Structure 1
Amino acid sequence: MAYRVGVIGGGQLARMMVPPAVHLGIEISVLAETEGSSARLAATRVGDYHDVDVVLDFARGVDVVTFDHEHVPQPVLAALVEAGVEVHPGPAALAVAQDKIVMRERLTALGLPIPDWAAVHDAAGLEAFLADHGGRAVVKTARGGYDGKGVRVVSGAHDADDWFAALADGGSGGALLVEELVEFRRELSQLVARRPSGQIVPWPVVETVQRDGVCAEVFAPAPSSAGRVADVADDIARTVAERLGVTGVLAVELFETTDERLLINELAMRPHNTGHWTIDGSVTSQFEQHLRAVLDLPLGDTGCHRPHSVMVNVLGGPTTGTMADRLPALMLDQPAVKVHDYGKEPRPGRKVGHVTVIGDDLDESVFRARAAVEFFTE
C-alpha cells in the first residue's frame, strides 16, 4: 500500500520531511504559503491555510494531515476532522501549543513544573505581578510569538503598554502572559515521538544555546545530563505527550534552574530546531520519526551514532551570494561536516540553514561546527 502524508506549511521543517518520505516510499505533499517556499520541491499547492475550502481540497488527496507550524486556525482543524481527515497532532493538542496562556493553564492543571505565571489584562495587573516577583518579569504575547518575537523582559508596570494597546485595538479582549524571571543554569530540550496507538520513544535530552531569543547551538546529549536530569526530562515530556494527547514529534523546552529544578518553558508539537541534530546524529531522525508517528507506524531507534552531536544554525547567511556559493570551499576544508541549506535568501537574523558535526570529543566537535558556520556568515 502507499502512504500519503499532507503537510500544511512550506518552511524548512516540511522541506526536511521530504528525504525520509522518499526513503520510506511515502507520498508527501505540501500546502505552501507562497511560491518558492523552502519546501518547494514537495509543494503541490500554494494556498492560504486560513481558508477552509483550500485546506479541505488539499486534504482530499492524502491519508493524514500534519504540520510545519502550529498556526492553522481551530475552525479549519475542526472542518478537517468533521470531514473525516486524520489530523496529527489533533486540534485539542494544537490548541495548547497555539496559546501560551492555555498552555500554562493545562500544564498547571496537570501538576507539571512551570514558572510562576499570570494572565494580565492591563498595567495594573502587571504591576501587581511585579510587586510579588522582585520587580522584574517576562511578558509574552499569548499567540504568534517565536524565535524571540513576542517576548520581553520588563521591570515596570507600563513596559508592555504597546502590547496592551494592540490587544485593545484588535477588540480581542485578550491578555498577556507574565512569568517569573527564572534564574537558570542552562536551557534544555527534550524531544519525544508518540503514535496515536500510544507508543512513545524519546531522544537524549539536549542543551541549547539561545542568542537574541533564537536557538543558535545544540549539544546532544546535554553535557552532564546522564541520570537524574535525563530521567526527569524524559518523564516530563512523556507526561505532556500522554496527557495532552500529542501525536507526532513533541519538543519540550526546559530551564535547568540554579536550584536544580527543571521547569517547562515552551512546547512545540512538530519537529523542532533543537532536534535537527538527529538527521545526522541519530539512528532515526526526528523527521522520519514524525512521519512514522503520524501514520501510526512502529517508531524507530533513537540511539546516537557517535558520543556527541553539535548542531549550529546559520543565522542571516552570507553578506553576498548564497550558502550554495560558499559550499565548495567548506567541503574542501571540512569534508566531515554535514550541511543543510534551507533554500532561503539570506536576511539578518533569518535561519537559512544549519551544520552538524558528530564525533567522539565534544570540544573538537563544537570547534569544527562553529568554524563551518563562519564559511556561510562572513
Structure 2
Amino acid sequence: MPAPHLAVIGGGQLARMMAPPAVALGIRLRLLAEAGDVSAAQVIGDHLVGDHTNLADLRDAVGDAPVVTFDHEHVPPEHLQALAAEGHACRPSPDALLFAQDKGDMRVRLSLLGIPSPVFELLSEDLADAIDDMHDFGYPAVVKTTRGGYDGKGVWVVRSADDLAEPFSVGQELMAEELVDFRRELSALVARSPSGEVRAYPVVESRQVDGVCSEVIAPAPDLDPALAAEARQIAERIATELEVTGILAVEMFETTDGRILVNELAMRPHNTGHWSIEGAETSQFENHLRAVLDLPLGPTTARQPWSVMVNVLGGAVEDLLVQRAIALAAEPGVHVHLYGKAVKPGRKVGHVTATGIDLDDTRARARRSAALLTDG
C-alpha cells in the first residue's frame, strides 16, 4: 500500500469527516483506531487498531507518514515529543496541544497573553487546603478537572464547601473558575498553517443541553459586529501566539454585560464547526487537512445567510438507517450525517445541517430532521 500523506490518531466522527475532503484532494490517510468498527475505521481503509496511550501502537500507525494529526487531544505529551524527535511533524505540535489538554496550563498562558478569561485558581491537592482555597476564592464557582473533561463531564458548580467532595472523589487535579453570568455561548474557529496563514470562520452561537452541544447557529444571531470582530481577533491571536497548526476552536462566553471571555480551547475540528461542511465555502475538515499539510487555505465565507446544525443524540430511534429515509423524505433539503455508531441514550450518533435565507425556517427544518432521527 502506498505511504500515507497523513496519519490520524483517533477513530471518532471527526476523523471520519476528514475522509471526504481527503479523497477529493488526493490525500492518503492512515488511521489509528480504537477498534476495527469505530466510526472512522468504517470509511478509512488504511487503519490499524491500537491504543493511543501506547507509544509502540502510535509508532506502528504513524509508520512512514511524515505528518500526524488528531481526532482528539488525549495522546500523552511525552509520546508526541517522541514522535516529533523521530522526524514526524505533529500538527498541532506537542507544545501547542498542551494548552488544549490541560485547562490549568491554558488559563495561565492566556492570562499571560492578556486574553479575557474567567477568574481562576488552581486548587490544592488536599481537600482541607482546597476548602481554604475556595473560601478565599468565593462561592458560587465552577470547579473543573484540568485534564480529560468533555461534554460537561469533569465540571461541577459548587456553592459551598460541602460540594467539593464529589469533584475530589475523581482524584484529578482541579481548578476553580468564577461562575460567569453569560448571555450565551459563542465559538470562533480559525485555521492556521505552519506558514502562518490564518483564516477565520464566522463566529457562531452554540446551545448546550446538559453540558452537550445541542445546536449551532452560524453566524451568531444579533451579535454586535464589534464583539464578533473581537472574538475573531482573539481566536486569531491565540492561534498565532500558541503556534497552532490546523483548526483551533475557541469556545467563549458572551457575558450579560457585553464582554467576551474565553472558556475552552480545542485544537482539532470541532462540533461547533460541523455546519461548515455545507454552510461554508471550505469546510473545517478540508481546511484542517490543508493546514496540517501546509497547503493554501480555502475561503471560510458562508454560502448562505444562515446555517443551523443540530446534533442527533441517541434516543427512541434504534435503527437510524431505516429512519434516515423518513427524515430525508420529510426534509429533503436538510443534510444528514450519520457516524456509524451504535445508538445509546444521549450519545452523539450524527448531526443534521440546514441552510437558508430565513433563520426561523432554517432552524425549524434542522430541528424537525434531527427530531425524526432521535425520537421518530
Question: For this structure pair, what is the TM-score category when the shorter chain's length is used for normalisation?
Answer: over 0.9
Question: Matched residues in 1 for 2:367 and 2:198: separation?
Answer: 33
- Residue 239 of structure 1: aligned partner: 237
Contact 2:4 2:64 in 1 (8 A): no
Give the partner amino acid of 1:8.
Answer: I
Question: Matched residues in 2 for 1:23 and 1:2: separation?
Answer: 18
Question: Matched residues in 1 for 2:86 and 2:329: separation?
Answer: 53
- Residue 278 of structure 2: aligned partner: 280
> Which residue of 282, 287, 294 maps to 1:296?
294
- Residue 171 of structure 1: aligned partner: none
CA offset at residue 2 of structure 1?
A: 8.7
CA offset at residue 128 of structure 1?
A: 4.4
Most deviating of 282-291 and 74-83 = 74-83
SS in 2 for 1:288: helix
- Residue 316 of structure 1: aligned partner: 314
Contact 1:126 1:157 in 2 (8 A): no
- Residue 28 of structure 2: aligned partner: 27
- Residue 333 of structure 2: aligned partner: 336
Most deviating of 90-99 and 285-294 = 90-99
Give the partner amino acid of 1:345.
Answer: A
SS in 2 for 1:252: strand
SS in 2 for 1:158: helix
Question: Matched residues in 1 for 2:176 and 2:332: separation?
Answer: 46
- Residue 155 of structure 1: aligned partner: 159
Q: Deviations over 1:181-228 (max 9, x none)?
A: 000001000000000010000000000000000000000000122521
> Which residue of 88, 95, 100 maps to 2:98?
95
SS in 2 for 1:222: coil
CA offset at residue 51 of structure 1?
A: 1.4
Runs of 4+, deviation exceeding 6 Å: none
Matched, 1:144 2:148: yes
Identity across aligned pairs (percent)?
Answer: 54
SS in 2 for 1:219: strand
Give the partner amino acid of 1:135.
Answer: Y
Contact 1:4 1:26 in 2 (8 A): yes
Give the partner amino acid of 1:225.
Answer: L
Q: CA separation of 1:287/1:181 partners in 2, compared to 1, >3 Å: closer, same or farther? A: same
SS in 1 for 2:116: coil
CA offset at residue 61 of structure 1?
A: 2.8
- Residue 270 of structure 1: aligned partner: 268
SS in 2 for 1:301: coil
Question: Matched residues in 2 for 1:67 and 1:143: separation?
Answer: 17
Superposed, 1:33-48 pairs within 5 Å as 33-40=34-41, 41-42=43-44, 44-48=47-51
Question: Matched residues in 2 for 1:128 and 1:117: separation?
Answer: 15
CA offset at residue 50 of structure 1?
A: 1.2
SS in 1 for 2:40: coil
Matched, 1:118 2:116: no
CA offset at residue 162 of structure 1?
A: 3.6
CA offset at residue 130 of structure 1?
A: 4.5
- Residue 70 of structure 1: aligned partner: 73
RMSD, aligned α-carbons: 1.6
SS in 1 for 2:370: helix
Q: Deviations over 1:150-173 (max 9, x none)?
A: 001111113122432442xxxxxx
> Which residue of 337, 341, 350 maps to 2:347?
350
Contact 1:191 1:251 in 2 (8 A): yes
Superposed, 1:203-218 pairs within 5 Å as 203-218=201-216
SS in 2 for 1:159: helix
SS in 1 for 2:368: helix
Q: CA separation of 1:210/1:129 partners in 2, compared to 1, >3 Å: closer, same or farther? A: farther
Question: Matched residues in 1 for 2:185 and 2:170: separation?
Answer: 31
Matched, 1:12 2:13: yes
Contact 1:194 1:200 in 2 (8 A): yes
Give the partner amino acid of 2:320.
Answer: M
Q: Structure 2: 5+ residue runs without aligned partners?
A: none
TM-score of the aligned structures, taking structure 1 as reference length? 0.95
Question: Matched residues in 2 for 1:165 and 1:179: separation?
Answer: 19
Aligned pair count? 371
Give the partner amino acid of 2:289.
Answer: L
Question: Matched residues in 2 for 1:216 and 1:201: separation?
Answer: 26
Give the partner amino acid of 1:44.
Answer: H
Question: Matched residues in 2 for 1:165 and 1:150: separation?
Answer: 11
Contact 1:2 1:25 in 2 (8 A): no
Contact 2:187 2:204 in 1 (8 A): yes
Matched, 1:360 2:364: no
